[in-house]
């Protein structure tokens, strides 16, 4: 196993299978097969002892990009426990590499592993702004807040060059359409000019996800996301620019980071946050196996305790996908976590959130070529 530093893994598993080492700068320590795969391959040593040597020093994994050919931008949901019914996701997969990300299993739909593939094989929508504008112009469209960052982070590192999230915001600003953003990246500040203008019209708010205040834990859980200090600073800069900013303490992992909840809310409020939320760890599909492997790799002495506490919040299982309890869990431990959150939110003035304006929506006129020429005279 790893010695707790995340540098090497040399443990033989069942039937001689070898677990691969953690890759520098990546969150997952395994790449489980997709649940849709008909066959599964695994490393196996033939008795010569060469497999462990081959896996000792693997090179860094590069990030690759693939175009998404889908012809729509908006995704709709009817989930009764979500505060939005539509979202835009310019990227599938996320280079932040958060090991706990509930969206990892969605990569299986693309034929990729929810493990290292999720954080290295990214799919992007180059025409997302044009597709979104076309959908907003449809006759009978009724505006409701669009959520950005509900599946993967809209400000992951590749956004620096592709600027797809910025192109989405440019469309929403022109249409007077409200947007709510969730991110754990300080990259959101690159769009502060647009967001501040939209905020003055009550068209934008931002939640910054702060999972832990411990840089060491953050580095292992979220290797390519902004540091906790940088996220708190981003909340402050958003607030000073007039953009309503909140903190999302998520996910809370029993026995690993949940003891930090009150401090996360306290420091976020001090930075300028005006509201808060939290979510209990969710482990759907392949994520159960992946998180178990990550725990035993980085925190072997605490793994059994953490998994036991998770089961206490999920009626003996590691996940519960039922509406109205999937985000908060059940049982005494989950109830205590809820009470702690609400007490801290009241104490630090983080209750509620700003309602956005849906009445400002207006479809802008399409500029004609002739009009553009006349405007020059």
Question: Residue 243 corresponds to which tokens in the numbers above?
Answer: 């953009």
pLDDT reported for residue 55: 52
Instruction: Measure the CA–CA gap between 4 and 338, rounded to whole angstroms.
Output: 31
* Span of 85-94, 173-182, 221-230, 352-361 with lowest mean pLDDT: 352-361
| Of residues 218, 302, 319, the one with CA closest to residue 260 | 218
Residue 6 lies in a domain: no
The answer to whether 239 touches 269, Cβ cutoff 8 Å, is no
Give CA–CA dist 20/340, Å, rounded: 39
Q: Is the pLDDT of residue 35 over 70?
A: no
Tell me: the pLDDT tens digits for 106-157?
988 788 888 888 998 999 999 999 999 999 999 999 999 999 998 899 999 9
Does pLDDT of 7 surpass 60? no
pLDDT band (50, 70, 90) for residue 53:
low
Residue 61 has a pLDDT of 75
* SS3 category, 233: helix
**223 and 94 in contact (C-beta within 8 Å)?**
no
DSSP class of residue 279? E
Tally of structural domains, the chain: 1
The band of 34, judged by pLDDT with boundaries at 50, 70 and 90, is: low
What is the pLDDT averaged over residues 337-344? Answer: 98
CA 305 to CA 129: how far, in whole Å?
A: 46
Task: Indicate whether 7 belongs to any domain.
Answer: no
Could you tell me which residues are beta bridge partners of residue 65?
A: 122
pTM score of the predicted model:
0.85
Of 250, 243, 249, 240, nearest to 267 (Cα)? 249
| CATH number for 244 | 3.80.30.30
Whether 195 has a pLDDT exceeding 80, the answer reads yes
Helix (H) or strand (E) holding 191: none
Lowest mean pLDDT among 20-24, 181-185, 322-326, 340-344: 20-24
What range does the domain containing 60 cover?
14-352
* Sequence-ordered list of residues with C-beta below 8 angstroms from that of 243, at least 6 positions apart, any chain: 192, 195, 196, 199, 204, 205, 206
pLDDT recorded at residue 27: 67
Q: Mean pLDDT, to the nearest integer, of 311-325?
A: 95
366 within some domain: no
pLDDT tens-digit readout, 19-30: 445 566 676 676
Q: Which has the higher per-residue pLDDT, 9 or 93? A: 93
364 in a structural domain = no
Per-residue pLDDT, 23 = 61
Is residue 194 in some structural domain? yes
pLDDT average, residue stretch 202-217:
97
Segment 255-294, tens digit of pLDDT? 999 999 999 999 999 999 999 999 999 999 989 999 999 9
Residue 62 has a pLDDT of 81
Q: Whole-angstrom Cα distance, residue 6 to residue 135? A: 46
Name the pLDDT band for 64 (thresholds 50, 70, 90).
confident
Residue 44 has pLDDT above 80, yes or no: no
Higher per-residue confidence, 150 vs 230: 230
Chain center to CA of 153: 5
Asked whether residue 75 is assigned to any structural domain, the reply reads: yes
User: Per mean pLDDT, which range of 221-225, 348-352, 359-363, 365-369 is the poorest?
Assistant: 365-369
Average pLDDT of the chain, as a whole number: 87
Q: Which two tokens stand for residue 167?
A: 């192109």
Instruction: Please check whether residue 296 lies inside any domain of the structure.
Output: yes
- Beta carbons within 8 Å of 331's beta carbon, 6+ residues apart: 312, 313, 315
Give the closest residue to 183 by CA, choosing from 99, 94, 260.
Answer: 94
What is the Cα–Cα distance from 185 to 247, expressed in whole angstroms?
12
Is 371 domain-assigned? no
pLDDT in tens, 79-118: 999 999 999 999 999 999 999 999 999 988 788 888 888 9
Rounded to an integer, what distance in angstroms lies between the CA atom of residue 328 and that of residue 334?
7
Q: Does the pLDDT at position 371 exceed 70? A: no
């Amino acid at each position: 196993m790893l010695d707790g530093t995340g540098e090497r893994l040399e443990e033989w598993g069942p039937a001689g299978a070898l677990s691969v080492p953690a890759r520098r700068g990546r969150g997952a320590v395994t790449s489980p097969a997709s649940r849709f795969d008909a066959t599964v391959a695994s490393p196996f040593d033939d008795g010569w002892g060469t497999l462990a040597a081959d896996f000792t020093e693997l090179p860094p994994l590069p990030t690759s990009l693939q175009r998404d050919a889908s012809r729509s931008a908006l995704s709709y949901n009817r989930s009764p426990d979500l505060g939005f019914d539509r979202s835009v996701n310019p990227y599938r997969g996320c280079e932040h590499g958060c090991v706990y990300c509930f969206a990892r299993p969605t990569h299986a739909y693309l034929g990729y592993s929810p493990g290292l593939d999720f954080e290295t094989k990214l799919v992007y929508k180059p025409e997302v702004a044009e597709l979104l504008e076309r959908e907003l112009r449809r006759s009978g469209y009724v505006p409701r807040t669009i959520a950005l960052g509900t599946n993967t982070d809209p400000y992951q590192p590749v956004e620096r060059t592709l600027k797809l999230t910025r192109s989405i915001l440019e469309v929403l600003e022109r249409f007077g359409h409200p947007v709510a953003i969730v991110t754990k990246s300080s990259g959101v500040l690159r769009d502060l000019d647009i967001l501040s203008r939209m905020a003055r019209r009550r068209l934008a708010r931002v939640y910054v996800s702060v999972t832990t205040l411990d840089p060491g834990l953050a580095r292992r859980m979220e290797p390519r996301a902004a540091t906790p200090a940088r996220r708190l600073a981003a909340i402050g800069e958003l607030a000073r620019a007039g953009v309503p900013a909140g903190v999302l303490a998520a996910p809370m992992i029993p026995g690993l980071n949940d003891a930090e909840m009150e401090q996360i809310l306290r420091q976020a409020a001090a930075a300028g946050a005006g509201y808060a939320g939290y979510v209990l760890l969710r482990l759907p599909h392949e994520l159960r196996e992946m998180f178990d492997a990550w725990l035993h790799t980085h925190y072997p002495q605490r793994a059994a305790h953490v998994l036991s506490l998770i089961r206490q919040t999920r009626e003996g299982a590691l996940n519960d996908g039922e509406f109205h309890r999937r985000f908060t869990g059940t049982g005494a431990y989950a109830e205590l976590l809820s009470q702690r959150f609400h007490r801290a939110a009241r104490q630090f003035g983080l209750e509620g959130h700003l309602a956005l304006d849906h009445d400002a929506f207006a479809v802008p006129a399409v500029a004609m070529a002739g009009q553009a020429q006349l405007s020059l005279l």
